[in-house]
Structure 1
Amino acid sequence: MLRSLRWQWFVVAMVVTGVTIAMLAKWLQYEFHDHLEEQQVAELTFQLDAVTANLPELAKSAPLDLPERVAERLADPRWRRPYSGWYWQVERLDRTDAVWSSRSLWDFRLAFPERADWGKGSPVLLRDLAGPDGQKLLALVRVVRWEEEAGQLWRVTVARDQAQLQAIDEEFRQELWTILAGVVVVLLAGGLVQWGLGVRPLRRLERALTAVERGEAHFVAGSYPTELASVVATFNALLRTLREQSETGRRQTGQLAHALKTPLAAILQIARQEAKQPWADEIVAQAELAHAHVRHYLALARAEASRGALGKRCDLAEVLERIVAAMTTIFAEKALQWSCDWPAHCQVVGDARDVTELLGNLLENAARHARARVGVRVVPEVVQGHSGWRIEIEDDGPGFEGAHESSGSMGACASVEAANASDASLLPQAGLGLHVAQTIVRALGGSIAWLGSERYGGARVSLFLPSRFVAESH
């Protein structure tokens, strides 16, 4: 799965988006909490100043008693409602019994930690100060020196319940994550759309390459983005080079065949003319062997050149129709009954000339040895994950002895060297045509089997040709 570019992009996008959104959420939460706390501190500072301004009135009243005129000046009803979450407290630091507080504190007294900076004049902010009813308070504390009362130190405190702030924080957090989740969905959806637009040229390139592989086009056609244009141009140049090399190889092998054909024919003619000489039979045998080897390796070279040219394909139906028509004419005196069964269109890898030579040799061999009937059948098949066509050629002749299978990249033979032309020579019907057929099948990446025909009682040749290019396995 992770070999897919789509999944790699998706994982990277998820990680980057997730980390970014998490960092953004943390920062926004911190900023919101800090801003909210600043507002609360500003309000506490205002209330602290108001309570401090009433310090002379408090000093004249009895401890734990809130004068009505101070209550009127601090008109907020939250100061009067018990455990309302808003509290103030004033105390003399030199006396433990001199404490004034808001009615909201009721009978609770705020306790403070020991600090060395109480007397520096600036308000001190305390968090999580223990309050009544288990509340955690945000408190602002100021120590005031009252010169009119012989420099007495008074600690003035205003506080509020942090639960209210935490509730606001939590509500903001929930709304924030809801919004950010929507942002993530939008970003990922936009990313998927962008991915779809980005891979569209790759899909067009894939379709173009498939057309080349199927033989529907010689080169990759179409315009592509700058990032792919150079790749397409290089690939087309490679295809052009391979095609030229294939044609050059085929032309050179043909020239070599013609160059060798005349000297070998001359040697055979001379040997036959001197048939009475003791060396004549040996010369004829060696010349015929040389001719067989030449034809064998020329067929191999042509087939390899055809297979190496990406996009070379042919239609089996057209090839078989031409060959059967030719064989019917050639063996007209035998009045053979042909049974043919193949689909209208069945494409295989290889040049039409090579496939024609392959099937021509096999059908000629079947027609030559058949008594009255020859059958040809083509069916689709998948071998080792590769789709192709199974071709069955049967006759009612003497059949094969020591029937076996010979194959290329699709079959079971260990190597071409271990199963070269000598394989076909094991068969009683073996001839040069079977050698060539065996060579072409291997070069095209298929397999061939020499079997017996249960239907006709003679020989059966079963060969598989792939419908798509099959890379050599090492």
Structure 2
Amino acid sequence: MRLSSLATRLFISATIWVVLILFVTGIALSSLYQQAVERSFDRRLNLYLRTLIAEVAPPEDADDKITPALGEPLFELPLSGWYWQIVRLDGGRRSNPSKPDERASRSLWDQKLPKLEDQGIPLNTAGVRVGYVKGPEDQQLRVVERPVDFGADGKFVVTIAGDATEIFEETRTFDFYLMATFVALTFGLLLTTLFQVRFGLAPLKRITSGLTSIRAGTAERLEGSFPVEIAPLARETNALLDANREIVERARTHVGNLAHAVKTPLSVIVNEAVAHRDEPFASKVLEQAEVMRNQVAHHLERARIAARLTAVTTLTDIAPVVESLQRTMEKIHHDRDIEIETDIAAPLKFRGERQDLEEMVGNLVDNACKWARSRVRIEVSLGSAMPDDAMTMVCIVVDDDGPGLTLAERAQVARRGQRLDETKPGSGLGLSIVTDLVQLYRGSLNLGVSPFGGLRAELLLPVG
């Protein structure tokens, strides 16, 4: 997984959790605030209720037409949203039959308030009912209702109602400021989270850069200090690199020992066969010994390369290798007057060992010089990536003006030990070795037709 992808996923996850937590918290705070406003409003209504009950329970000789004075002018303003109402529940035993069964504030204007009891709202522990109803003008009212027993005067329900707009407006105002605060808090938390994610993953990016440098051959270990959480990873990675390097060194040693162990018996066999060259059996032994030497050389070289490629790769300048091969091949083939041209577009580097590059390009150039009539051209440029790999490649093209090869011949020459012309020097292992090396470096070798009429060998190798 790329670090950018991990950082994005962590940020999205943190964002979802922050928004979810703040959303739930906002709903809870809004609900708690509304309940607090309702309790405050209810205390106000209960104060009016107690005052009203005290006012409407006068002595027997009191004037029943006196209107209770609650100290609130809105109870006198018609349809103001603030109302009181007293309703008799039963006739009872009256000391004064002239007392009315219902009394109400002037603000009700001959209207009636609905009973909370009819809506199924029970009495609370304080002996009152509290709830919302619709008023005469379809206002939303907050109502406190209490049944009262006035003894001989009968049982009454005393109701106080206030305009609930105050509650809703208070709650809406609180919700607005709460939402604005939470939006600002959300952005602040997200910015903080983004900073923490980037800062927290910075050591992992350093490890990624360090591994890239190791793979590119510009470093051998992860250097620098890391946080305590990341330090074990860096330490184990360096230990793995050291162990890998030791394994490679042991493999190289074993390859060298095997080479010496095998070559000595072969040399003895060849010497004994040479001493009896005239015998048919000796000739056969010499022939097979030569095949064995070629096979041993081929597989030991392949093992040596494979062991080297498991280690940290190095970078090799391509231009000096190509120029050195040009001079060498001109000297080797000076008697044939072969002209070797080079065209190096830029100072490119090969991600691998110099001797492997010399092996691959040298075989291709030597093969071109053997078959060319008068001209060989080496071109080095930056090529496209392999179809299944994102690694950038360097393209080395070797053209000659020789007879070229047919499609079937191109497939044949890549096989180990195959030679189309026995008159030309060589063992037939050159292109096979190149093919093996190219595969180990995850490159490609393509044979085609040269613009000069001969063979074109196109080599794609990883660039440094």
Do both share a fold (TM > 0.5)? yes
> 1 CA distance for matches of 2:393 and 2:124?
94
Aligned to 1:413: none
Are the equivalent residues in 2 in contact too, given 1:379–1:391 (CA < 8 A)? yes
Q: How does 1:350-365 map to 2 (within 5 A)?
A: 350-365=352-367
CA shift for structure 1 position 151: 5.1
Which of 94, 99, 104 does residue 102 from structure 2 map onto?
A: 99
Name the SS of the counterpart of 1:460 in structure 2.
strand
1:223 aligns with 2:221: no
Kindly tell me: are residues 162 and 107 of structure 1, through their superposed partners in 2, closer, same or farther at Cα, counting changes over 3 Å?
same
CA shift for structure 1 position 296: 1.0
TM-score normalised by L of structure 2: 0.87
Which of 396, 401, 404 does residue 396 from structure 1 map onto?
A: 401
Name the SS of the counterpart of 1:245 in structure 2.
helix
Q: How does 1:41-440 map to 2 (within 5 A)?
A: 41-56=42-57, 60-61=62-63, 67=67, 70=68, 73-95=69-91, 98-114=101-117, 122-147=126-151, 150=152, 152-381=154-383, 382-384=385-387, 385=389, 386-402=391-407, 422=415, 425=418, 427-428=420-421, 431-440=428-437
> 1 CA distance for matches of 2:408 and 2:245?
38
Which letter maps to 2:53? T
Q: Which consecutive residues of structure 2, in runs of 5 or more, have no partner in the other structure? A: 92-98
> 2 CA distance for matches of 1:324 and 1:443?
25
Are the equivalent residues in 2 in contact too, given 1:394–1:458 (CA < 8 A)? yes
Which letter maps to 1:103? R
Are the equivalent residues in 2 in contact too, given 1:303–1:350 (CA < 8 A)? no
Deviations 1:354-412 (A, max 9, x none): 22222222222222333322111122222214321121112223333445777xxxxxx
> 2 CA distance for matches of 1:119 and 1:369?
112
Which letter maps to 2:436? T
Q: CA RMSD in A?
A: 3.0
Are the equivalent residues in 1 in contact too, given 2:445–2:459 (CA < 8 A)? yes
Q: Which consecutive residues of structure 1, in runs of 5 or more, have no partner in the other structure? A: 407-418, 469-474
> 2 CA distance for matches of 1:314 and 1:152?
111
Aligned to 1:453: 450
CA shift for structure 1 position 102: 1.1
Aligned to 1:412: none
Kindly tell me: are residues 343 and 238 of structure 1, through their superposed partners in 2, closer, same or farther at Cα, counting changes over 3 Å?
farther
Deviations 1:213-249 (A, max 9, x none): 1000111111111121111111111112222222332
TM-score normalised by L of structure 1: 0.85
Are the equivalent residues in 2 in contact too, given 1:405–1:449 (CA < 8 A)? no
CA shift for structure 1 position 344: 4.1
Larger deviation: 2-11 or 287-296? 2-11
CA shift for structure 1 position 19: 2.4
Are the equivalent residues in 2 in contact too, given 1:395–1:460 (CA < 8 A)? yes
Which letter maps to 1:291? R
Kindly tell me: are residues 184 and 40 of structure 1, through their superposed partners in 2, closer, same or farther at Cα, counting changes over 3 Å?
same
Size of the aligned set, in residue pairs, is 447
Query: Sequence identity of aligned pairs in percent?
Result: 30
CA shift for structure 1 position 133: 1.1
> 2 CA distance for matches of 1:380 and 1:121?
88
Name the SS of the counterpart of 2:397 in structure 1.
strand
> 1 CA distance for matches of 2:133 and 2:368?
105
Are the equivalent residues in 1 in contact too, given 2:273–2:282 (CA < 8 A)? yes
Aligned to 1:34: 35
Aligned to 2:94: none
> 1 CA distance for matches of 2:337 and 2:133?
114
Aligned to 1:25: 26
Kindly tell me: are residues 445 and 424 of structure 1, through their superposed partners in 2, closer, same or farther at Cα, counting changes over 3 Å?
farther
Kindly tell me: are residues 107 and 66 of structure 1, through their superposed partners in 2, closer, same or farther at Cα, counting changes over 3 Å?
farther
Kindly tell me: are residues 444 and 459 of structure 1, through their superposed partners in 2, closer, same or farther at Cα, counting changes over 3 Å?
same
